[in-house]
Amino acid sequence: MKEHDKHRAFWEDIGEHDPYFGVLTHDEFRSAQINADGKAKFYESGVQHIDRTLKKLEKHWPKATAKLRTAVDFGCGTGRLSLALARHFESVQGFDISATMLAEAEAQRQEMKLDNVVFHQVEGDQPFLESSYDYLHSSMVFQHIPPANGMLLLRHLLTHLRQGGLAFLQITHHTHMAGFKKPVNKLVRLLRWRKRQKQRDVYAFAMYDYDLNAIFQLFQELGVGEVLTGFGESGNHAFVRFYLRK
């Protein structure tokens, strides 16, 4: 099987058997455990994430934020963020490589009776946008895509972001053993880390680091005017949150 087909097959498999855990790797979101309350909690986490992000964008770029109408959620999975974006935008398009993830997203869209969100399946290595849009959101997605492919996708997404549009991107750039510095915490953290790895290993999520210099070069080349950064860590993967205005 080609590398790209393996990548797609992985996300189809997890979407079929454990879609919510495929997005948030906590045991409470496993298919075997999740109930109505758990599902509500899962989608509420998306509402909070989007509210926080838009508040930050509005604080820095109030005029640009007021003009946002159309949004793209790249790597939308089960629609956790697309459906939250629908509260703020006239129209939202969610794109994902996995048909099984998208089936879950669509079922939830119907349950929420939202008619301003459309989900599309993408090939994962082919261009898919034809017109421009106002706002790009992509969280916990590029980290799973090999950078050679991810950089092309990012170029495609940012090329179609209209001048004056805004974006939020989460990009992993470094894998380390952060937090293992203090000897007292070392053992506890190591045990927690191993437990998390074991849970994840069931599906062996691939993780990739991006070259931030290449990311900044791309921003500059494509006319991104301003960038704010925030930092975070997921397990032993360090990431940057980019908030940007084109």
Ligand X SMILES: C[S@@+](CC[C@H](N)C(=O)[O-])C[C@H]1O[C@@H](n2cnc3c(N)ncnc32)[C@H](O)[C@@H]1O
Q: How far is the CB of 225 from ligand X (least distance, A)?
A: 25
Using Cβ positions, the residue closest to ligand X within the complex turns out to be 77
Q: How far is the CB of 79 from ligand X (least distance, A)?
A: 8
Stretch that binds ligand X, among 96-104, 112-120, 178-186, 187-195 (CB under 6 A): 96-104
Cα separation, 128 vs 160, in Å, equals: 10
Q: How far is the CB of 183 from ligand X (least distance, A)?
A: 33
Between 41 and 164, whose beta carbon lies closer to ligand X? 41
Cβ–Cβ < 8 Å for 53, 90: no
Window 128-147: contact mask with ligand X (x via CB under 6 A): -----------xxx--xx--
Candidate residues 72, 84, 101, 169; the one interacting with ligand X per rule CB under 6 A: 101
Does 152 sit near ligand X (CB under 6 A)? no
Q: How far is the CB of 160 from ligand X (least distance, A)?
A: 15
Cβ–Cβ < 8 Å for 68, 166: yes
Cα separation, 76 vs 243, in Å, equals: 18
Candidate residues 34, 53, 68, 75; the one interacting with ligand X per rule CB under 6 A: 75
Does 23 sit near ligand X (CB under 6 A)? yes
Does 53 sit near ligand X (CB under 6 A)? no
Candidate residues 81, 154, 158, 215; the one interacting with ligand X per rule CB under 6 A: 81
Between 107 and 190, whose beta carbon lies closer to ligand X? 107
DSSP string, the chain: --HHHHHHHHHHHHHHH-TTTTTS--GGGSTTT--HHHHHHHHHHHHHHHHHHHHHHHHH-HHHHHT--EEEEET-TTTTTHHHHTTT-SEEEEEES-HHHHHHHHHHHHHHT--SEEEEE--SSS----S-EEEEEE-S-GGGS-HHHHHHHHHHHHHHEEEEEEEEEEEEEEE--TT--SHHHHHHHHHHHHHHHHHHHTT--------HHHHHHHHHHTT--EEEEEEEEETTEEEEEEEEE-
Q: How far is the CB of 156 from ligand X (least distance, A)?
A: 11
Q: How far is the CB of 117 from ligand X (least distance, A)?
A: 13
Q: How far is the CB of 29 from ligand X (least distance, A)?
A: 11
Does 86 sit near ligand X (CB under 6 A)? no
Residues in contact with ligand X by the rule CB under 6 A: 11, 23, 75-77, 80-81, 95-98, 101, 122, 124, 139-141, 144-145
